[in-house]
Amino acid sequence: MTDIILFATHWNEIDWIKPSLAQIDRIDPIEVIICDGCFDMEYPAPSTDGTREVIQEFVSNRENARMISPVRCDSLEGACELWRGHAHSSLLRRLHPARLRRAGMSFGTHHYRVNQALTFNRMISLSQFWEEGRWFMTYDCDQFYQDCTIENIQNEVNGGSAAELLTADERTFFHGFQHYTDQYEARKYNNMPHRIRADTMIFPTRAVTAEGLFRTRYYADVVPTKHVGSYHHYKFEFEDRFEEAYQVGNRKPPEVDQYDMKSFEGRHPSVVRKHIEPTPS
């Protein structure tokens, strides 16, 4: 078992949910909390394509897994909830200028983004294993880690790593399994393991931060990091889910044509090869 807590958010992910859950089993975290639903209050909360039922079956067969629904607040309530923070944060931090500032900033942020951060903070509050020094990671349904990357993560997490943030390169597949770009996602810490600190807090949209007295900073700017490999992000523009995902909140779809595409000549992660047969595009 990997000494890491995994927080997943899924909504209408029927094309990817089974291999994604299989990858969770491959990572083998000590605790799994999965949110099913949409953060945008203009849409029905639960998945409507069968995703929720697949997740329900998954968690019913695992003692360390549970499913929750998303937090959905208006801007005033959302700001108050961000000010309160999660249950493991010191109450004194509510008086810190950094907390007050970030909570105030949420008034100008779409509720889709605020609700996403609040949902992750709720997961932290619900976690039975949250403690300083342990690891946690956020998780998306269409993001798959190379087999060797998962092994490296497990070795670092279970092996007393000196790092507090593990990083990886993203390969984004827009047109199918045969071509990718490495220009879409510059962040190397997106949905990667972070070590829990006393000042860990998540702010919109899903910014994992170290919360100081006067300011909050991304982990990548303040903690030691270690690069552990790469992962694949399957954002196929020909799938209905691609368009649906950018209708919520104030999200804007990527301009796919601006990215240089490369031919992929390696091997896709084993859970993808097992559940979805790659075909030439």
- Per-residue confidence (pLDDT) for residue 241, from 0 to 100: 81
Is the C-alpha dihedral spanning 19, 21, 24, 25 positive or negative? negative
- Asked if 216 and 209 touch (Cβ cutoff 8 Å), the reply is yes
Task: Say how far apart CA 120 and CA 201 lie, in whole Å.
Answer: 9
Span 100-149, pLDDT tens digits: 999 999 988 999 999 999 999 999 999 999 999 999 999 999 999 999 99
Residues 6 or more apart in contact with residue 122 via CB below 8 angstroms: 68, 71, 86
Tokens of 167: 């990083």
Checking DSSP bridges between strand 200-203 and strand 207-211, what pairing results, if any?
antiparallel
- Asked if 118 and 204 touch (Cβ cutoff 8 Å), the reply is no
Architecture of the CATH domain 2-275: Alpha-Beta Complex (3.90)
pTM score of the predicted model: 0.96
The residue with tokens 């790659």 is: 278
- Per-residue confidence (pLDDT) for residue 237, from 0 to 100: 84
- Asked if 196 and 174 touch (Cβ cutoff 8 Å), the reply is no
H or E stretch at 274: helix 270-275
Helix axis angle for 111-126 and 75-84, nearest 10°, is: 30
- Asked if 58 and 106 touch (Cβ cutoff 8 Å), the reply is no
Tokens of 224: 């030691």
- Asked if 281 and 234 touch (Cβ cutoff 8 Å), the reply is no
Instruction: Name the stretches of the chain with pLDDT < 50.
Output: 278, 280-281
- Per-residue confidence (pLDDT) for residue 31, from 0 to 100: 99
**Helix count (H) and strand count (E) of the chain?**
9, 13
Tokens of 1: 């078992």
Checking DSSP bridges between strand 29-36 and strand 65-68, what pairing results, if any?
parallel
